[in-house]
Each structure stands twice: as C-alpha cells, then as structure tokens.
Amino acid sequence: TPVLFWFRRDLRLADHPGLVACQAARVPVIPVFILDPQTEALGAAAKWRLGLAIASFRERLQAIGSDLILRRGPAKETLLELLEETGACEVHWSRNYTPDAIERDQEVKTALKRAGRHALSHPGHTLIEPWAVSPAASDHFRVYSPYWRAFRTIEIAPVVPEIEALPAPALWPRSDNLAGWRLDAAMNRGAEVVARYACVGEQAALERFAAFLDEPWSAYRNGRDRLDLAATSLLSENLTYGEISPRTIWHGVCASGGDQEQGGETFLKELVWREFSYHLLYHTPHITQRNWRAEWNAFPWRGDNEQAARWRKGLTGEPVIDAAMRQMYVTGTMHNRARMLVASYLTKHLMTHWKIGMDWFAQCLIDWDPAANALGWQWVAGSGPDAAPFFRVFNPATQAEKFDPDAVYRRRYVAELAGDNPGEAALAYFDACPRHWSLDPEQKYPEAPLIELKRGRERALEAYQHYVVKN
C-alpha cells in the first residue's frame, strides 16, 4: 500500500529526512500539498512565492517519476479523504513549529489514530529540534550568546542522500490545478516586478549557495552590514520554503575552507539566529502576538496611523528608510540592517506598535518566516528577549552614512533621489506598489521628513522612562 507525504515547508529532494524514511520502506509514495486555511492566510508576497515554489517542486518530482497532488481544504479532512481514496494507511510530514501548525498537526495525528491510520513526523526544517538544547535551570534560553555556546557543542547530523527516484502508486489520485488556486491573487500588481528578483526552486537555491561559497569569507565578514553591497547569501528566501536545508548550508560552510575560520563562523552564527528564533517560538509562542516582556504592555505605542501609512509607502522623507521600504516592495526582501533601521524608525521615531510593522512585513516579504520576523521586530522594539535596549535608537542618517557611504543604496531604490536617470529598481517601485496608492515617477520627494530625528528620539526616550522603567 502507498503512503502519503504531506509537503509544507520542505519543497526539496536533497537532505530530506522524511522522504528518505519513506524511501527506505520501499513503498509507493504519494506526495501531496494541501492549501489549507493556514496556507490560505499567508501574506500576499509569501503566498505568491509559494505558488512558484510548488510549481518548481512539482516539476522536480515529475522528473524522478513521481508527482505532486494538490488539494484544497482543511488538512485533517483532506488527508482522511485521500487515505480513503488511495488505500494508504500512513501520512508523513516534516515538522513545523508555529503554534497553529503544532495544533493542526496534533489534530491530524489524533484523527488518523482514531481512523486506525498512522502519522509520522520528521525533522528537517531546522538544524536541531527547537527543544534540543536548554540551560541548566530552565527549559529555554532567553539570551542568544549562551544559546550559541550550547548549540556549538552539538554535533549536527550529516546530510542524508538526495532522493533520485520515488516509487509511484499504481493509480494517481485527482489533483487540483495550481493556477486555479490563484495564489497570486493579492499580488496582482507587484508579481511581475518581484519575479525578476526571485530565485525559485531547489536547483536555483543550490546554485545560489554555491555562488555564495565561491566568494571569500572576508567579503561576508566585512560587507554583510553594507546596504550598497550584495555580500550576504540571500538564502532566507529558499530556507523558508525548504528549497534548501539548513543542514546542507551548515555542512557546506564547514567544508568550505579558505578563511572560513573568521567569516564562516560569523555566517554560522547568523544561521543559528534562525535556530534561536525557532527555539523561542516553540517555548514562548506568544512572541508572534504579544510583547515578549509583559512590562511593555503599558507602553503607549500608537496603533495604525497616517505616519505609519507613509512608512509603508516609502514616503517618510528619511531617504534610507524609504529606500529600504521600496526595496521590500520591488524585490520581496530587505537587507538585514535595513530591516533593523525601518523597524526602529517605526517603533521609536514614529512610536507605532511593532505589530503594525511585523504584519506589513508578513504581507510583503517573500522570505517571510514566522519565527525570524517576530523575533526581529521584538528585538528592535525592545520588548523581546535579549533585545536591543530601547534607549539605543538607531539614527537613520548616521547609519546611512556608515553603511551606504556613497548613497548607492538610497539612489538604487528612490527614483526621486536618483537625478535625471533613475535605475530600473527605482522605477520598478512604481509598478510594484498597489495601484490605489496612485504614485507616479514624476512625483517630488517629501520636502520634510515625518519627524525631526532628534525630536523623535527624545519623545521615544521620554515615553520609555515614563512607562517602562517605572513599571
């Protein structure tokens, strides 16, 4: 009898522990992707990008004699139906760790058991399970450095062999048509633009990684904070859909030689921030919803407001902030330092709640990751674990001088600052943003910034003194 493999964020054939386990059983495998309510709820850009990931993965499966069956509906009912239709008695999947996913998967497990069928979940989305390391006195770490030290003592399991053939069932069940899912519905304007920058599928992800490894590690170490350089791996886009495994990256880096000792280690530390974010998400799931530290609940952050709307549009009048917000619109991603700057500007200079920013990122990022996004926002806002102290307010102007010394990044994305001859990315912004914003390339850049930087900083610090320190 065949088994079902329920794919979610693991759209690859290399280093796939769950698929290897199925293959070892030498039974036909029916790969399935379900558009369930949780997947339906993804932000516009992530949902659109998921559609590309599914199409690419389906081709990859077809090339090894298999296929990907697409079904729409609640996961539990859909899987039970498929088991009935195919006569399969096992469902496998790779674990996810958001509270919603854990709850859904638990329900599926219980329902399958009740129906006399088996559910088997596998690792693979992270380097280690989020619960695998803990400090002596508690179940989870709150601070990154000791987490990293504990993490570094663990041996990361080797990658498992790539799947080269997957036995097909005698009869394939019916599949939905991917185009009919309209995963691009909310991206109707930006998709064409973002598609120029996206790097879709397992093969492309592996090539992207290989190209990154070809560069000297010193380029990463010295350039990773520079907004104007392309010194980072950009692999977050692929990691989030599982087009490459974190273990492939880890072992690839460890084997890369060169001046690996310095830059390679810096890169691994970044990769382990992703692990840390899953560690926190697992142990403190409220991180995606509420202030991680309750003492922040009294802080007078504003809800959505006119200034936040201008922040979303990239029209604050603060060039580096606007460049970053437009980069996200055009490319679907944003440089890490730029993410920190725009998050600080929104939560401190504009005194707007981090959730407003976090939700906007969830709409716009093609590398949206529930754990990294929540941790990133709470880290910058000051309300998270191991957060940047609130009183360390980034000054966008001095940050821009330091990390974009020749204003290349600002001109790359803000046409109004680019003189007579704005580049392709700057102009693409006007095609990528929603039509109802009615922006036009001839527009004038805001004459005055939304708030004077010194004044914004002082206002944030006063509120901090008043509401957080006292509480």
Which CB, 3 or 280, lies closer to ligand FAD?
280
Residue 37 token pair: 């309510």
Contact 38, 64 (CB under 8 A): no
For helices 319-331 and 306-313, give the axis angle rounded to 10 degrees: 60
To ligand FAD, the closest distance from the beta carbon of 6 in angstroms equals 23
E strand intervals along 151-291 = none
Choose which of 92, 224, 247, 412 interacts with ligand FAD (CB under 6 A). Answer: 224
Q: Identify the residue whose tokens are 């997947």.
A: 39
Least distance from C-beta 277 to ligand FAD, angstroms?
A: 5
Cα atoms found within 13 Å of the Cα of residue 246, Cβ hemisphere only: 22
CA distance 323 to 314: 7
Q: What does the per-residue mask of binding to ligand FAD show for 241-280, with x meaning CB under 6 A?
A: -----------------------------xx-xx--x---
**Residues 93, 151, 345, 368: which binds ligand FAD (CB under 6 A)?**
368
In the bound state with ligand FAD, the residue whose beta carbon lies nearer, of 23 and 245, is: 245
CA atoms within 13 A on the CB side of 78: 22
Q: Which two tokens stand for residue 334?
A: 């944003």
Site for ligand FAD in 62-91 (CB under 6 A): none
Closer CB to ligand FAD, residue 55 or residue 199?
A: 199
- 234 is an interface residue for ligand FAD by CB under 6 A: yes
Binding segment for ligand FAD among 30-38, 173-181, 198-206, 227-235 (CB under 6 A)?
227-235
Binding residue per annotation — 56?
Answer: no
Distance CA 426, CA 167 (A): 48
Least distance in angstroms from the C-beta of 271 to ligand FAD: 4
Chain positions 125 to 184 lying near ligand FAD, rule: CB under 6 A, are: none
Q: Is 406 annotated as a binding residue?
A: no
The residue from 49, 369, 429, 433 that contacts ligand FAD (CB under 6 A) is 369
- C-alpha dihedral, 125 to 130 to 131 to 133, nearest 10°: 110
| By CB under 6 A, residue 365 contacts ligand FAD | yes
User: How far is CA 132 from its chain centroid?
Assistant: 22
Question: Which residue, 129 or 270, is less far from ligand FAD as judged by CB?
Answer: 270
Interface of this chain with ligand FAD, residues 290 to 349, rule: CB under 6 A: 336, 339-340, 343
Known binder of ligand: residue 369?
yes
Which listed residue (33, 292, 311, 377) binds ligand FAD by CB under 6 A? 377
User: What does the angle CA 353 – CA 271 – CA 196 come to, to the nearest 5 degrees?
Assistant: 75
Residue with token string 């516009």: 44
Interatomic CA distance for residues 403 and 401, integer angstroms: 6
Find the distance separating the first CA and the last CA of the chain, reported in whole Å.
Answer: 62
Contacts of residue 120, defined as CB under 8 A and 6 or more positions apart, other chains included, come to 18, 21, 90, 91, 92, 93
Q: Which residue is nearest to ligand FAD (CB)?
A: 376
Cβ at position 377, least distance to ligand FAD in Å: 5
Q: Is 220 annotated as a binding residue?
A: yes
Name the token pair of 118.
């088996």
* Residue ranges that bind ligand FAD, judged by CB under 6 A: 224, 232-236, 239-240, 270-271, 273-274, 277, 336, 339-340, 343, 361, 365, 367-369, 372-373, 376-377, 380
Q: Which residues are annotated as a binding site?
A: 220, 232-236, 267, 367-369
Q: Which residues are annotated as a binding site for FAD?
A: 220, 232-236, 267, 367-369
